[in-house]
Amino acid sequence: HTKAAAILVSEPLEGLPIACLVTPNPYLMFAKALEFFYPPPRPRPGIHPTAVIDPTATIGANVTIGPHTTIGPRTQIADHVTIGPGCSIGPDCTIGANSLLHPRATLYSEVTLGQRNVIHSGAVLGADGFGFVFTNGAYEKFPQIGRVELGNDVEIGANACIDRAALGVTSIGDGTKLDNMVHIAHNCRIGRNVVIAAQTGISGGVIVEDYAVIGGQVGIG
């Protein structure tokens, strides 16, 4: 009874009055079909006049920078990057080619994004790790002077937070996907092609190896 012109199947089905497109992975091919029929909008390259860009920053070719975005000193933006309205990019950051920052994403200083990264609205990369020393009845801040590094093809969900390392690097491997409201604490090392669902919190110094799958609301100490 379907009104579809064709269906995607993993093996041929006999006796159907419509075309069967046989593929080992119908779900993947359906995603590719959706991309074909509904391509994401591509904004026209250019820098909005309300954007504030430090003169020492480097901006590549065919870059789009939306209104009220700020870009700090010595930051490098590669070719074909899209930065939405209201983003804040701190000093000494690097954003790889073909990356997309949705509105109001925030990168503190010394955050490195690989190529084809997607950072959703409200995500914060490079905020201080939660490091304090208890002395004389009070907490004293332990300086968080490390950095954050993301590989290629990483996607960070809305309102997620990846803290900078206290010393060294907090790193996210190639192909890893973080859902909304995920918190990665300082000095974590997340491997390649890891998926982490919403409201998961990972404590400082945790190592998650390649291809791990972590469900929603998981807490890791």
Q: What is the tens place of the pLDDT at every residue in 59-94? A: 999 999 999 999 999 999 999 999 999 999 999 999
Please identify which of the residues 102, 120, 183, 186 carries the catalytic annotation.
186
DSSP SS3 for 34? helix
- Contact at 8 Å (CB) between 113 and 171? no
Q: Looking at residues 6-25, what average pLDDT do you find?
A: 91
Q: Distance between the two ends of the chain, CA-based, in angstroms?
A: 52
Q: Which amino acid appears at position 136 of this protein?
A: N
The mean pLDDT value for 51-58 works out to 98
Structure confidence at residue 17 as a pLDDT band (50, 70, 90): confident
Whether the CB-CB separation of 174 and 154 falls below 8 Å is answered with yes
The burial class, CB within 10 Å (0-12 / 13-18 / 19+), for 153 is buried
The pTM for the full model equals 0.92
186 flagged as catalytic = yes
Q: What is the phi-psi region of residue 84: left when phi exceeds 0, alpha when psi lies from -120 to 50, beta otherwise? A: beta
Assess whether pLDDT exceeds 90 at residue 99: yes
**pLDDT at residue number 133:** 95
